[in-house]
Amino acid sequence: MLSRSNDLNHALAMMLEAGRRMDHVWNDVEPPWPGMLRSAWRSLGAASWPRVNLYDTGSTLVLRADVPGLTHKDLSVTLDEHRVSITGARTVTAPAGHTVHHRERGNIHFSRSLSLPCKIDPEASTAAVQNGVLTLTLAKAPEAQQRQITVRVRGDA
């Protein structure tokens, strides 16, 4: 389990932002090669989309991912006891009668899998997408939840 100070968080955020901007470079620059090489080029940039944060609330793990423009119809979530997989796609088109001046939002087809830090109960877990944010609430398996043990004085009944 990771725990970082605010300063370290900030430094890491700057590195991630730099990475995000590099992703734009990967996505925006079209290589001159056709076919498989172009797909490989795009997949390099799309490898880390969407960005994911994972939180531990004690009884659940909460996963949040930014998926702008996607609805529940565009997303598929697969759970097993130690792993979560998210797949989805979106197609961006110009409004009818418009020409494209500037484009940073691309078509997206993604698949991400994450190993979870503890065993979960897929049956008791839920997924929701609202305002372009996917939230998975993953119920921890009973054996993965923290347990409080009463301390007794030796000799107490």
| 11 touching another protein, by CB under 8 A | no
Contact between 142 and another protein (CB under 8 A)?
no
CB neighbourhood size of 129 (10 A): 19
Q: Tell me: does residue 109 bind another protein (CB under 8 A).
A: no
Nearer to another protein, 2 or 157 (CB): 2
Structure tokens at 133: 């944010």
- Does 148 engage in binding with another protein (CB under 8 A)? no
Give the separation between CA 64 and CA 55, rounded to whole angstroms.
8
In a 10 Å sphere around its CB, with 0-12 CB exposed, 13-18 middle and 19+ buried, how is residue 63 labelled? buried
Residues 6+ apart with CB under 8 A from 26: 41, 42, 44, 45, 46
Considering only residues 23 to 62 of the shown chain, the ones binding another protein according to CB under 8 A are: 24, 48, 51-58, 60-62
Instruction: Return the structure tokens found at 10.
Output: 């900030």
Choose the binding region for another protein from 15-23, 35-43, 81-89, 149-157 (rule: CB under 8 A): 15-23
Query: Which residue among 40, 76, 105, 145 contacts another protein (CB under 8 A)?
Result: 105
The answer to whether residue 139 forms part of the interface with another protein (CB under 8 A) is no
Least distance (Å) between residue 155 CB and another protein: 37
DSSP single-letter state for residue 120: B
Taking CA atoms, 98 is separated from 28, 66, 92, 94, 103, in Å, by: 20, 27, 13, 6, 13
146 versus 150: smaller Cβ distance to another protein? 146
Is residue 61 a contact partner of residue 55, using CB atoms and an 8 Å limit? yes
Part of the chain binding another protein (CB under 8 A), chosen from 29-37, 81-89, 103-111, 119-127: 103-111
Residues near another protein, by CB under 8 A: 1-4, 9-10, 12-13, 16-17, 20, 24, 48, 51-58, 60-62, 66-71, 92, 94-95, 97-105, 114, 117, 131-133
